[in-house]
């Protein structure tokens, strides 16, 4: 029997799950594939991966075809610092926007939060995640993940919207950025679900170690990285997070961002 192909991204917010997963991969009989969130969604859909951490909107678009690994998630409640919309202009005056090409969930969230506040003729362009270059060419940019840490302070003189904060202010619920989705025909190895819960517990205990290493890599203060992983990112797929995911699903359906509205399915 071949190893289970497990896709994961390596943004800072994933490290408390990814680090112990890499260490336990052999015992869980997994092969880990690291890629961007949007690429992982494509590989899962194509059958190149068995399960993967994918953007929540990518799961919702195929909620009738995937199951969710229970208990673990990447979510936030209020300000998160890594999903930012940065603009030279007031919302109603924006004519051009650069969208980060790595995650469609943030684009969907942006459309839900701000779509009705923008000029109907606004033009969007999908770009690599370089906020400095984007803001030279466009009125505004949506930037996610690790590059957003520096962008928030670098462009503090512009209008900076934290989309997780905007979501929380409008809904009072956590926002689920990514879930671990499983193709329904895949039979998980015995103990993987329990093993992943151990991974989550272990990863939370190692946040200081992870923050110290990755703060150097990202060029940010270690205390900022540790606060981000400890207080701004949520790893538990509890009832509150599920409630936020269901609300996002409903709003995506209302806006025509997903074609169907199906019950969430969890791997047993």
Question: How much is the average pLDDT of 73-101?
Answer: 94
Q: Which is it for strands 96-100 and 123-127: parallel, antiparallel or unpaired?
A: parallel
User: Does 226 score more than 70 pLDDT?
Assistant: yes
* Strand-pair partners of 234: 75
The pLDDT of residue 246 is 96
Q: Report the alpha-carbon distance of residue 75 to residue 176 in Å, rounded.
A: 4
For residue range 230-254, what is the model confidence (pLDDT) as tens digits? 999 999 999 999 999 999 999 999 9
For residue range 93-151, what is the model confidence (pLDDT) as tens digits? 999 999 987 778 999 999 999 999 999 899 999 888 788 999 999 999 999 888 888 88
* Strand-pair partners of 31: 5
The pLDDT of residue 129 is 75
What separation in angstroms does the CA of 10 have from each of 7, 15, 21, 129, 249?
10, 6, 12, 15, 25
Q: Report the alpha-carbon distance of residue 245 to residue 258 in Å, rounded.
A: 13
Task: Classify 60 as helix, strand or coil.
Answer: helix
Q: Report the alpha-carbon distance of residue 142 to residue 131 in Å, rounded.
A: 8
- Tell which wins on pLDDT, 200 or 153: 200
Sole residue written with tokens 């074609």: 259
Q: Report the alpha-carbon distance of residue 75 to residue 241 in Å, rounded.
A: 7
For the chain, which domains are there?
4-75+174-254 (3.40.190.10), 83-171 (3.40.190.10)
User: Mean pLDDT, the chain, as a whole number?
Assistant: 93
The pLDDT of residue 256 is 94
The pLDDT of residue 1 is 56
User: Does 63 score more than 70 pLDDT?
Assistant: yes
DSSP-H helix ranges across 118-261: 131-137, 147-154, 163-171, 192-205, 207-218, 222-227, 239-254
Q: How much is the pTM?
A: 0.93
Q: Report the alpha-carbon distance of residue 46 to residue 221 in Å, rounded.
A: 39
Residues of 189-218 as b/e, b for ≥16 C-beta within 10 angstroms? Answer: eeebbebbeebbebbbeebeebbeebbeee
The rounded Cα 254 to chain-centroid distance in angstroms is 21
């Amino acid at each position: 029997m071949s190893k289970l192909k497990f896709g994961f991204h390596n943004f800072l917010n994933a490290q408390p799950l990814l680090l112990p997963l890499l260490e336990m991969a052999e015992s869980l009989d997994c092969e880990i594939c690291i890629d961007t969130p949007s690429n992982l969604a494509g590989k899962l859909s194509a059958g190149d991966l068995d399960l993967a951490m994918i953007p929540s909107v990518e799961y919702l678009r195929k909620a009738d075809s995937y199951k969710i690994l229970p208990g673990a998630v990447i979510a936030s409640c209020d300000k998160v610092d890594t999903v930012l919309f940065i603009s030279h202009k007031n919302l109603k005056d924006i004519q051009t926007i650069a969208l980060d090409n790595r995650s469609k969930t943030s684009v969907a969230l942006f459309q839900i939060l701000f779509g009705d506040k923008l000029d109907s003729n606004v033009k969007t362009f999908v770009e690599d995640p370089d906020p400095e270059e984007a803001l030279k060419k466009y009125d505004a940019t949506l930037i996610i993940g690790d590059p957003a840490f520096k962008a928030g302070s670098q462009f503090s003189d512009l209008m900076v919207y934290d989309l997780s904060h905007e979501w929380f202010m409008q809904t009072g619920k956590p926002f689920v950025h990514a879930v671990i989705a499983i193709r329904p025909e895949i039979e998980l190895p015995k103990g993987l679900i329990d093993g992943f819960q151990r991974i989550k517990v272990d990863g939370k205990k190692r946040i200081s170690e992870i923050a110290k290493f990755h703060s150097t890599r990202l060029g940010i203060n270690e205390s900022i990285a540790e606060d981000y992983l400890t207080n701004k990112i949520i790893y538990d797929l509890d009832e509150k997070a599920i409630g936020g995911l269901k609300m996002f699903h409903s709003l995506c359906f209302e806006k025509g961002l997903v074609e169907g509205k199906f019950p969430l399915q969890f791997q047993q």
